[in-house]
């Protein structure tokens, strides 16, 4: 529907709902119940609350480096809503909305950013690979996950997320090419938030759209308004169906904006004007859906407040819980290098333990 008719060279962008929450393409509007729409909204809102509170904790010196996804909630939640629970995700590091939708416990997420590997030991059903730090390397894993799913006769697909900066890495290229050659059940989603830390998208690549990079691999590529959750949902859904049918991978460019700093270590005022941020604030994905819901009468200020309050409390409690989690025990740093500690690791572990005992540590 979108995919077949879309020409990524025309610099078009799929939008269903405009920035005022008005559905401008009713023909493309996905079939979502009111409950589902509220659920979409709540997930985005929850993500925003987590980001805001975590930034606050970070400023208070209670959190380590954190990468907020402010402004990208629709991109993430919309796409994640369009896939199944058993589908795989190979994430980058800024996909809070995806984690939430796929059922990752907030406690795990906090533990991870708190510097504890236990965080990435997610419940098995979450099916998201751990946060990937080496940019774009996860793309390759997605292709392998998809290969294995098909090989095993399952109809699970694998979705990879990557940033606009990540499209420059060789791994991006190789993964798309392999998935295309093998016609793998993959969906590749580029969150084009206009920046790789301080580096603007225009410096990252000269192609008119990122979606058109799909042409290099002979697969469909589509540019989507990443701040329009209906568009993100609808396009991802179609790409996922396509993948599941055996018709191969799709590249989705979600056109969005990183409203916050790259991470809490970053000072974006060095490289961008606040006025630019303000412009994008006007296109906020959460406000947009709220306007839609309010107009439709399925949400109101009261619900908003109640939900925010309840979620805020939950975030606070979870974070305080995580704050008490303490350091990683010595043995944990040794126990997961291999299935079984090697004799050398065992000896090093015993030596450190003896040292701690001696020093009363």
Partner 1 sequence: MLVLNLVEAVTNALDTAMANDKNVVVYGEDVGVEGGVFRATKGLQEKYGAERCFDSILAESNIVGAGIGMAINGLKPVVEIQFSGFMFPAFNQIVTHAARMRNRTRGLYTVPMVIRMPYGGGVRALEHHSESLEVLFAHTAGLKIVVPSTPYDAKGLLLAAIADPDPVIFMEPKRIYRAFKQEVPEEYYTIPIGKAKVLKEGKNLTVVAWGAMVRETQKAIEILEKEGHSIELIDLRTISPIDKETILASVQKTGRFAVVHEAATTFGPGAELITTVNEGAFLYLEAPPKRVGSNDTIVPLPKGEHHYVPDTDYIVSELRTVLEF
- To its own copies, the closest distance from the beta carbon of 181 in angstroms equals 5
DSSP states along 306-343? HHHHHHHHHHHHHHHHHHTT-PPPHHHHHHTSSSS--H
> Residues 299 to 328: which contact partner 1 by CB under 8 A?
325-328
How many residues touch partner 1 (CB under 8 A)? 81
Q: Which stretch binds its own copies (CB under 8 A): 38-46, 59-67, 150-158, 180-188?
A: 180-188
Is 165 an interacting residue with respect to ligand TPP (CB under 6 A)?
Answer: yes
Q: What six digits make up the tokens of 229?
A: 């959750």
242 catalytic? Reply is no
The residue from 18, 52, 171, 247 that contacts its own copies (CB under 8 A) is 171
| Degrees to nearest 5, angle at CA 347 with 344 and 353 | 140
Q: What six digits make up the tokens of 223?
A: 């540019």
Is 59 an interacting residue with respect to partner 1 (CB under 8 A)?
Answer: no
The residue from 134, 208, 218, 246 that contacts ligand TPP (CB under 6 A) is 134
Helix, strand, coil content of the chain in percent (nearest 5)? 55, 10, 35
Residue 304, burial from CB neighbour count under 10 angstroms (0-12, 13-18, 19+)? middle
Residue 345 is inside which H or E element, if any?
A: helix 343-359
The residue from 54, 137, 193, 318 that contacts partner 1 (CB under 8 A) is 137
Is 147 an interacting residue with respect to its own copies (CB under 8 A)?
Answer: no
- Whichever of 119 and 248 has its CB closer to its own copies, that residue is 248
- To Mg ion, the closest distance from the beta carbon of 192 in angstroms equals 7
Q: How far apart are CA 128 and CA 143, in angstroms?
A: 14
C-alpha Rg value of the chain to the nearest Å? 21
**DSSP 8-class letter at 227:** T
Is 21 an interacting residue with respect to partner 1 (CB under 8 A)?
Answer: no
> What residue 135 binds from its own copies, ligand TPP, Mg ion, none (CB within 5 to 8 A, per partner kind)?
ligand TPP
> Residues 247 to 266: which contact ligand TPP by CB under 6 A?
258, 262
Is 166 an interacting residue with respect to partner 1 (CB under 8 A)?
Answer: yes
Residue 254, burial from CB neighbour count under 10 angstroms (0-12, 13-18, 19+)? buried
Is 134 an interacting residue with respect to its own copies (CB under 8 A)?
Answer: no
Distance from CA of residue 105 to its chain's centroid? 15
66 catalytic? Reply is no
Q: What six digits make up the tokens of 10?
A: 């025309």
Is 206 an interacting residue with respect to its own copies (CB under 8 A)?
Answer: yes
Cβ–Cβ < 8 Å for 56, 264: no
- Whichever of 226 and 248 has its CB closer to ligand TPP, that residue is 226
CA dihedral over 256, 259, 264, 268, signed as positive or negative = positive
Pairing of strands 195-196, 199-200: antiparallel
Residues 61-80, mask of contacts with partner 1 (x by CB under 8 A): ---xx---------------
Is 113 an interacting residue with respect to ligand TPP (CB under 6 A)?
Answer: no
Residues ≥6 apart with Cβ < 8 Å to 155: 149, 185, 244
Is 115 an interacting residue with respect to partner 1 (CB under 8 A)?
Answer: yes
> What residue 122 binds from Mg ion, its own copies, partner 1, none (CB within 5 to 8 A, per partner kind)?
partner 1
Is 196 an interacting residue with respect to ligand TPP (CB under 6 A)?
Answer: yes
84 catalytic? Reply is no
> What residue 110 binds from partner 1, its own copies, ligand TPP, none (CB within 5 to 8 A, per partner kind)?
none
For residue 22, which phi and psi values (nearest 5 degrees)? Answer: -95, 130
For residue 124, which phi and psi values (nearest 5 degrees)? Answer: -55, -35
Q: How far apart are CA 23 and CA 14, in angstroms?
A: 12
Q: Which residues lie near Mg ion (CB under 5 A)?
A: 163-165, 193, 195-196
What is the set of active-site residues? 258, 262, 271
Residues at the site binding its own copies, with contacts judged by CB under 8 A: 9, 168-174, 177, 180-181, 183, 203-208, 212-213, 215-219
Residues at the site binding ligand TPP, with contacts judged by CB under 6 A: 94, 133-135, 163-166, 191, 193, 195-197, 258, 262
């Amino acid at each position: 529907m979108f995919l077949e008719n879309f020409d990524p060279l025309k610099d078009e962008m799929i939008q269903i709902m405009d920035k005022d929450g008005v559905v401008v393409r009713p023909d493309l509007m996905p079939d979502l119940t009111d409950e589902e729409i509220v659920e979409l909204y709540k997930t985005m809102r929850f993500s925003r609350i987590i980001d805001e509170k975590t930034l606050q904790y970070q400023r208070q010196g209670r959190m380590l480096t954190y990468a907020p996804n402010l402004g990208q909630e629709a991109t993430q939640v919309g796409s994640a809503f369009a896939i199944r629970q058993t589908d795989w995700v190979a994430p980058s590091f800024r996909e809070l909305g995806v984690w939430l939708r796929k059922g990752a416990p907030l406690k795990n997420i906090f533990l991870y950013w708190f510097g504890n590997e236990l965080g990435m030991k997610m419940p098995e059903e979450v099916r998201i690979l751990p946060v990937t730090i080496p940019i774009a390397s996860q793309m390759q894993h997605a292709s392998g996950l998809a290969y294995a799913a098909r090989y095993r006769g399952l109809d699970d697909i694998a979705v990879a997320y990557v940033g606009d900066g990540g499209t420059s890495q060789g791994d991006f290229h190789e993964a798309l090419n392999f998935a295309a050659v093998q016609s793998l059940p993959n969906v590749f989603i580029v969150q084009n938030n206009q920046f790789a830390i301080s580096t603007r998208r225009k410096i990252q690549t000269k192609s008119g759209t990122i979606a058109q990079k799909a042409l290099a691999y002979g697969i469909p590529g589509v540019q989507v308004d990443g701040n329009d959750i209906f568009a993100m949902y609808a396009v991802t859904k179609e790409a996922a169906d396509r993948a599941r049918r055996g018709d191969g991978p799709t590249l989705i460019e979600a056109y969005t904006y990183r409203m916050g700093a790259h991470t809490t270590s970053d000072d974006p005022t060095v490289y961008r004007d606040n006025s630019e941020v303000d412009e994008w604030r006007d296109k906020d994905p959460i406000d947009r859906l709220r306007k839609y819901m309010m107009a439709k009468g399925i949400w109101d200020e009261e619900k908003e407040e109640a939900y925010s309050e309840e979620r805020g409390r939950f975030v606070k409690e979870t974070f305080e819980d995580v704050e008490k989690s303490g350091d990683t025990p010595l043995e944990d740093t040794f126990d997961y290098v291999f299935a079984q500690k090697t004799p050398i690791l065992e000896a090093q572990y015993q030596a450190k333990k003896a040292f701690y005992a001696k020093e009363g540590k």
